[in-house]
């Protein structure tokens, strides 16, 4: 423990380790101390002045909109067309104070053929979707408040442009069908590349239907086999009850890490696509956990506690694999989970711990389940249906809950001797049997969920025993949204 180790032994681990984790870099000059800029600062107080300033903007121009309520005319949206900043000198549209500019009307900004543009500090109250089209690139939405009209079926923000950054926004207050944030791409199958979604607060989506109210939908069924290389990290979800999927992944080659989902119906669902890494997320006190479909995923370091539903589901499929060229309608079915690595996760006192599915014809295959910690006082800890060539090793089970159908050689019964910290997380104590008990020879983890180095002698579960304070904890509203660092 506490010594550095390197990746990766399994094919799934190697694939996930190869994912690019680089994302566009933007200096946060919107409501802080600006970096050196070449362009002017332009103060505007009317919509006409704002449009004129946009039309004449050049790299580095910073347009500051006076606080107030503005109603954008239906036939005259604020149009940003053919405007190109640079990576070091973006064009910035910023409210004078965070949330101080409230945009009403049918539309607000309409973007086309533009790049290196930052939109910051606005309160969006419009009646149609805010679109970032594929003709754009390197667009940043930061420190905004999104509470669009509560219209049935309205998606609030749709991203189709490469290298988009969505950070430090608050999405809240929807009661009807429709998603907060969708990522798609050009045409019918492509995905926007390298989208970075971080430090956002998604809260209070209360649509009562069974589908269609996701806070984040990363792709759609016809785009499932397209690589997106998106990174979704450090976001907080609270009372995300509009859909069983708070983060719905329907594309390939993504990273979902360090998010907190609390008191929500929705969980993290790899619904379509392959080769996504789900790493170091907290799911606490809600209903749905992590559900897995598709191939070559890596699911590591996650902490799941107190769910009223199933903590982790290894899915069966209506198809063995989805294939290029298949009809879009065929791709809506589930793809069985194959060659998935599930390791170093902690599942505590959930209504269901680790389970499978039996209502589809294609069973999961070649899944490795290693070095996980499963604790429960009631029910059954492992309830798998049909499986093929599963590898079970190094798991620790504890509590009054039954073991279930985990193979005898795949686990040990031992008290992990957990202690609850001031942040509510239960971590290993110094006498825990989980310390130095991990078995994977070359696991795809170098750190635990807290940010502590794993070392060469690793502990079972999401936590590596340490005496120093954790670098990462479950997120709170102070860590995310418009006023976060």
- pLDDT tens by residue, 62-98: 999 999 999 999 999 999 999 999 999 999 999 999 9
- What confidence score (pLDDT) does residue 472 get? 97
Q: Of 334, 215, 355, 329, give the one whose Cα is nearest residue 273.
A: 334
152 lies in some domain: no
In which residue are the tokens 């107030």 written? 68
55 lies in some domain: no
CB 171 within 8 A of CB 216: no
DSSP class of residue 365 equals B
Rounded to the nearest 5°, which phi and psi values hold at 117?
-125, 135
The structure tokens listed for 88 are: 């070091």
- Per-position DSSP letters for 3-65, written without gaps between them: S------SHHHHHHHTS----------SSS-PPP-SSPEEEE-SHHHHHHHHHT--TT-EEEE
DSSP class of residue 252 equals B
Q: Is the pLDDT of residue 114 over 90?
A: yes
The structure tokens listed for 38 are: 């070449």
What confidence tens digit (pLDDT) does each residue in 335-366 have? Answer: 999 999 999 999 999 999 999 998 999 999 99
Q: Of 396, 401, 245, 373, give the one whose Cα is nearest residue 305.
A: 373
Average pLDDT over residues 99-122: 98
- What confidence score (pLDDT) does residue 27 get? 53
Q: Of 182, 240, 178, give the one whose Cα is nearest residue 206.
A: 240
- What confidence score (pLDDT) does residue 331 get? 82
The structure tokens listed for 139 are: 């667009």
Q: Is the pLDDT of residue 187 over 80?
A: yes
Q: Is the pLDDT of residue 9 over 70?
A: no
Mean pLDDT across the chain, nearest whole number? Answer: 93
The pairing of strands 282-284 and 260-262 is parallel
Give 219's strand partners. Answer: 250
> Residues 6 or more apart from 470 whose CB is under 8 A from it?
421, 423, 425, 450, 451, 452
- What confidence score (pLDDT) does residue 15 get? 41
CB 130 within 8 A of CB 156: yes
pLDDT confidence tier of residue 37, bands split at 50, 70 and 90: low
Q: Is the pLDDT of residue 475 over 80?
A: yes
Q: Is the pLDDT of residue 18 over 90?
A: no
Q: Of 293, 241, 302, give the one whose Cα is nearest residue 272.
A: 293
Please, which contacts does 321-326 make with residues 24 or more away whose CB atoms are closer than 8 Å?
A: 321/295, 322/224, 322/225, 322/272, 322/294, 323/225, 324/225
- What confidence score (pLDDT) does residue 28 get? 60
Provide the number of structural domains found in the chain. Answer: 1
Average pLDDT over residues 101-108: 98
Task: Write the CA distances from 365 to 124, 195, 388, 389, integer angstroms.
Answer: 46, 31, 5, 6
For the chain, how far is it from start to end, CA to CA, in angstroms? Answer: 31
CB 315 within 8 A of CB 341: no
The whole domain housing 363 covers 11-24+163-479
The structure tokens listed for 273 are: 């696509």
Report the C-alpha gap between 169 and 216 in whole angstroms: 13
Q: Is the pLDDT of residue 282 over 70?
A: yes
104, burial (CB in 10 Å: exposed 0-12, middle 13-18, buried 19+) = middle
71 lies in some domain: no
What confidence tens digit (pLDDT) does each residue in 117-140 have? Answer: 999 999 999 999 999 999 999 999
CB 128 within 8 A of CB 105: no
401 lies in some domain: yes
- What confidence score (pLDDT) does residue 329 get? 76
218 lies in some domain: yes
Task: Write the CA distances from 423 to 268, 271, 309, 426, 480, integer angstroms.
Answer: 22, 31, 23, 9, 17
> What per-residue string of b and e applies to 457-469 under the rule 16 or more CB within 10 Å gives b?
ebbbbbbbbbeee
CB 301 within 8 A of CB 448: yes
Average pLDDT over residues 314-330: 87
Report the C-alpha gap between 111 and 134 in whole angstroms: 10
413, burial (CB in 10 Å: exposed 0-12, middle 13-18, buried 19+) = exposed
Give 190's strand partners. Answer: none
Average pLDDT over residues 159-174: 98
The structure tokens listed for 346 are: 């902690």
Q: Of 235, 230, 219, 157, give the one whose Cα is nearest residue 196.
A: 230
- What confidence score (pLDDT) does residue 29 get? 58
36 lies in some domain: no
> Residues 6 or more apart from 117 whose CB is under 8 A from it?
80, 83, 85, 90, 91, 92, 93, 111, 136, 138, 139, 140
405 lies in some domain: yes
Q: Is the pLDDT of residue 327 over 70?
A: yes
Task: Write the CA distances from 84 to 137, 161, 162, integer angstroms.
Answer: 9, 14, 14
- What confidence score (pLDDT) does residue 11 get? 41
Q: Is the pLDDT of residue 34 over 90?
A: no
pLDDT confidence tier of residue 21, bands split at 50, 70 and 90: very low
306 lies in some domain: yes
């Amino acid at each position: 423990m506490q010594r550095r180790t390197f990746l990766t032994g399994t094919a799934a681990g190697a694939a996930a380790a190869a994912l690019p984790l680089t994302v566009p870099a933007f200096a946060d000059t919107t409501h802080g101390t600006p970096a050196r800029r070449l362009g002017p600062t332009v103060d505007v107080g009317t919509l006409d002045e704002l449009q004129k300033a946009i039309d004449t903007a050049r790299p580095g121009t910073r347009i500051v909109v006076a606080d107030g309520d503005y109603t954008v005319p239906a036939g005259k949206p604020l149009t940003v067309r053919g405007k190109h900043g640079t990576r070091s000198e973006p064009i910035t549209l910023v409210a004078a104070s965070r949330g101080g500019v409230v945009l009403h009307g049918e539309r607000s900004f309409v973007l086309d053929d533009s790049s290196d543009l930052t939109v910051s500090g606005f309160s969006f109250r419009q009646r149609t979707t805010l679109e970032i089209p594929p003709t754009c690139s390197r667009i940043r939405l930061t420190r905004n408040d999104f509470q669009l009209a509560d219209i049935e079926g309205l998606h609030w923000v749709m991203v189709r442009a490469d290298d988009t950054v969505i950070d430090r926004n608050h999405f809240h207050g929807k009661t009807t069908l429709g998603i907060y944030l969708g990522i798609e791409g050009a045409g019918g199958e492509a995905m926007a590349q390298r989208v970075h979604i971080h430090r956002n607060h998604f809260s209070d989506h209360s649509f009562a239907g069974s589908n269609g109210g996701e806070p984040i939908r990363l792709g759609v069924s016809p785009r499932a086999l397209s690589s997106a290389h998106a990174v979704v990290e450090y976001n907080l979800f609270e009372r995300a009850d509009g859909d069983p999927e708070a983060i719905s992944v329907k594309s390939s080659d993504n990273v979902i890490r360090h998010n907190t989902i609390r008191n929500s119906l929705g969980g993290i669902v790899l619904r379509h696509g392959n080769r996504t890494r789900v790493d170091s997320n907290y799911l606490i006190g809600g209903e749905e956990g992590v559900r897995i479909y598709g191939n070559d995923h890596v699911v590591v370091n996650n902490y799941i506690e107190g769910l009223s539903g199933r903590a982790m589901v290894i899915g069966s499929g209506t198809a063995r694999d989805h294939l290029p060229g298949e009809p879009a309608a065929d791709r809506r079915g589930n793809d069985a989970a194959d060659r998935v690595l599930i390791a170093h996760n902690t599942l505590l006192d959930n209504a269901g711990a680790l389970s499978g599915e039996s209502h589809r014809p294609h069973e999961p295959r070649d899944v490795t389940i290693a070095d996980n910690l499963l604790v429960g006082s009631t029910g059954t800890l492992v309830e798998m249906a049909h499986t093929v060539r599963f590898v079970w090793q190094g798991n620790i089970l504890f509590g009054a809950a039954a073991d279930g159908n985990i193979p005898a050689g795949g686990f040990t019964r031992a008290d992990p001797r957990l202690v609850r910290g001031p942040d509510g997380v239960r971590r290993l104590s110094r006498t825990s049997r989980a310390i130095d008990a991990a078995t994977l020879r070359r696991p795809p983890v170098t750190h635990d969920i807290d940010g502590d180095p794993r070392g060469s002698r690793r502990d079972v579960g999401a936590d590596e025993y340490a005496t120093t304070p954790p670098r990462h904890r479950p997120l709170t509203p102070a860590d995310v949204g418009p006023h976060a660092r």
